[in-house]
Structure 1
Amino acid sequence: MKGLWDEGARKIAVAGLPPMGCLPIVDTFSSNSTSTNRSCIEQYSSVARDYNQMLQNELNEMQQSSENHGYEKVNVGCCGSGYVETSILCNRASIVCADASKYVFWDAIHPTEMAYNVVFKDIRSTIDLITSG
């Protein structure tokens, strides 16, 4: 992430992972079967579940200990009313908060850049361990 930031990236999305063992390409390269009637590979899907759980745990911790992270609003989004707006309902015409860094959520679904930053810092060592092989 720091490398991307240093290169000028300012909007970087972090999302949970799908069940990796169910992706057609994983099944294709991990199976000896040429049949089109294949199933998910649990070993790969469990890695995605573990990663997603780490993300969820960090988000829960941010909401429960908001004062430790500088958040003022943990259960409403910065955009619109903060309760229902997302996607096209959160747009240029929407009213937004003055300081999104004080919010855990940008809209009714998506965490703010600050929230993702906290999550990344907390799980970076795990990501580094996974990617270093």
Structure 2
Amino acid sequence: MSKIRKSTPPIGNLSISQAKQLAEQKAKELINFSFKYLDGIHQKFCYHPHSNTYFVEVLDRVKNLSALTKQELLSNRSPSLKAHPINWTDTTESCFGFPKETDIVDIPYQFSINRNEHGRVHGFFIYNTFYVVWLDKMHNLYS
């Protein structure tokens, strides 16, 4: 006898209570990281000249942040993390510059790798996945 699987309804057909429950569940999920949109050849954010030590610092930060939820990351006011939205009008760039960006990116964010020594990571969230776009060791986004 085969088992019948109940399918979950699409998001658009959820009741209000189901939508709230789904949102609460998503808020409790830990952050994932993706490098799908990583731009390592951008003139200002090229990561090829950086040392192995730099990448160890980046991976350590990503590992540590993977223990947080998106809400925990964005509400954290630690001076060593400095996680916040990017306001393009305050930067040297007007956007990330990849195809269909306006359809994909709602709010660009950044966080520090550590206290000013190794720069920032710039990217955006889709649900609980942070898509890394630029590794900005030299703080070039704001200079």
TM-score normalized with structure 2 length: 0.27
Considering Cα pairs closer than 8 Å and 6+ residues apart, tell me whether 1 or 2 has the greater RCO.
2
TM-score (norm 1): 0.28
The structure in which a higher percent of residues are strand is 2
